[in-house]
Amino acid sequence: MVGLFTASDGVARCGWCAASSDYIAYHDREWGFPVVDDRRLFEKLSLEGVQSGLSWRTILTKREKFREAFLGFDFDRVADFGEGDVERLLQDAGIVRHRGKIEAVINNARRAQELVREKGSLAAYIWGFEPEGGGPHLASTSPASVAMSKDLKKRGWKFVGPTTVHAFMQAMGLINDHAAGCAIRSAAERARADFTAPKG
């Protein structure tokens, strides 16, 4: 079936899993399952921005190092980072050493604080963009990601283009883009059905 990959365990999964064995656990346990935790949402949005121009495998293999560098993506703590922290992170070989992307994570942490003050939680804001029907939307963008990207940029966020936001929405379960025939699709759909989106 088009769009599927069958691994050595005989399980059919989304075709992108074929690119790396690292992807299988991430695909089976995380990708497409709804997330409401603000820190995890901020982490993923940050890492999707850092991924820009790179492969997700590059970021996934460095994820634990990113978590160490950015204090578990606690945006209240990252918001206090200054120029000294930027310089320190630029010397950290465990992460992607790109000044603009590092500065974007810090900037976005401050913008996240503003959203929490306005909406009550980052989750309440993000889930407000959940598209009707929940997918699938197998493309690089969607009307929902374009709308969220536009609003985030208006609020001063960086590295949040519509393609980045769409990948974030796929990963965090706002849409279920597991391919038809993927063994995990039904589990992700059940998780979505049992999930109550927060209200802002």
| Confidence at residue 131, expressed as pLDDT on a 0 to 100 scale | 87
pLDDT band at residue 200 under the 50/70/90 scheme = low
How large a percentage of the chain has pLDDT more than 90? 84
DSSP-derived secondary structure for the chain:
-TTEEE-TTS-EEEGGGGG-THHHHHHHHTTTS----HHHHHHHHHHHHHHTTS-HHHHHHTHHHHHHHTGGG-HHHHTT--HHHHHHHHT-TTS---HHHHHHHHHHHHHHHHHHHHHSSHHHHHHTTPPGGG----SS--HHHHHHHHHHHHTT-SS--HHHHHHHHHHTTSS--PPTT-TTHHHHHHHHHT------
**pLDDT-based confidence at 1, cuts 50/70/90?**
very low
For the full predicted model, state whether its pTM sits above 0.85.
Answer: yes
Residues annotated as catalytic are: 26, 48, 56
Task: Check residue 135 and give its pLDDT.
Answer: 56
Task: Tell me the pLDDT tens digit for each residue of 13-68.
Answer: 999 999 888 899 999 999 999 999 999 999 999 999 999 989 999 999 999 999 99
The better pLDDT of the pair 81, 136 is held by 81
Average pLDDT over residues 67-72: 98
